[in-house]
Amino acid sequence: MRAPTYLSVMLLAALSACSGSDKEPGTLDSGTDTPTSDTDTDTQTGDTGQSTVSEAVWLETFDYEWDLFNHRVSYLYVEAADPPRVAVVGGTSTTQQRTELDKSCDPDACKEFPARDDAIVTVGWGAAATTDAAFATASASAVVPTEGVTVTVTAPDPGASGEVSAVLAGFSLDTDYALTGGIACYQPGNGWHPRRLALALATPRREAGELVVDLTLHFVAGNTDDPDRVCVDEVNEQSQVPMTAEVLFVVGAAATEVPVEQAVSYPWNGDQFNPEEQPPPADLDHGLPEGLRGWSKLDWSFNDDKPGERGAYLRNLVARIEGDQANAYASNYSPITQLHDFSFAFSGTVVGVPMGGVTHASRDGVLPTGLDDEERPVIYTLDGQTPTE
């Protein structure tokens, strides 16, 4: 496992402005997708007052489902690109890792079940090659305590005229980080049972030659109510989870924001071998104009209506924009390993910015839960056929 470094909030200075390119407007890098285009991609001078083509990529869909069972969350990574990059890890029941316990720990209260499971993933993205907007990108990272944290993200102002908006281009989390109370029987790198996972961008602004937005991050670990994992419930409130966000700033036409709200409670019939199905809720029409459509807020919470601050074993996690519809949901459906009912609530925001030269694409893949020589998660590139390291 990686040795812990420090416990304070970190903000990375990975900033760059994205403008000008030799690409033809409306084209994507090579791949197996057939991208769809929102609008005519002829190069014209847009509202930004520029004649050069600016390019950008942003996240539209992140969808994973475990092939066999539900699991904890220990590592997530998604980066909008062509092709996208992604990793999903759910603890020792997906990596087959064995955990060495200190002699003082009760093995009956700290059980791990080493096994393999594959993640079935879909990543969708939008891409623009346009004169209707100018773009800048920034990366931010923070160690997130139970109460959450807010950091300020900045990027150089590209100097174009227009309104400023911001959407997510990717994010990650990694539970392999020291507990606030120090070493314990439970090893946080094996994952947590989340009660909340959230990334939210505030209203962006211009300040002294920079584009600025406040980013709020949350990861709250819950109890298991599982007699095999009492050692988790003893320390979950001490969790600290490093999270990152890739932010795309847009300077162009005024943005429209549409809330996406979902909340579903799934009962459990008490039969762990044949639990009730958990169908996803219906998609919601967001009614945004053609152009850029991305997320500025993703906020899932789990089992809020359950006593004891119970967290979630997740079978799937979804946030999706597709055409005029958006959706987000989660489930814990898992024959053999499901032990509880389940509920989730989602609060998100889809941002739309009218512009030409926009295309949309997605790719699917089945990811083995790979670890490198240092037992760190492998980030896979979805090449349209099979994932590659």
191-242, pLDDT tens digit by residue? 999 999 999 999 999 999 999 999 999 999 999 988 999 999 999 999 999 9
Alpha-carbon gap, residue 327 to 123, rounded angstroms: 14
pLDDT of 259 reads: 97
Q: Domain ranges in the chain?
A: 14-388
What residue ranges of the chain have pLDDT lower than 70?
Answer: 1-50, 384-389
Alpha-carbon gap, residue 303 to 292, rounded angstroms: 33
pLDDT of 50 reads: 66
Token pair of 267 as six digits = 């009962």
CA angle 290/324/322 to nearest 5° reads 100
- Asked whether the beta carbons of 303 and 342 are under 8 A apart, the reply is yes
CA dihedral of residues 244, 164, 167, 362 (deg, nearest 10): -130
List the strands of the sheet with 358-368, edge to edge: 36-37, 358-368, 118-130, 54-66, 316-322, 325-331, 284-285
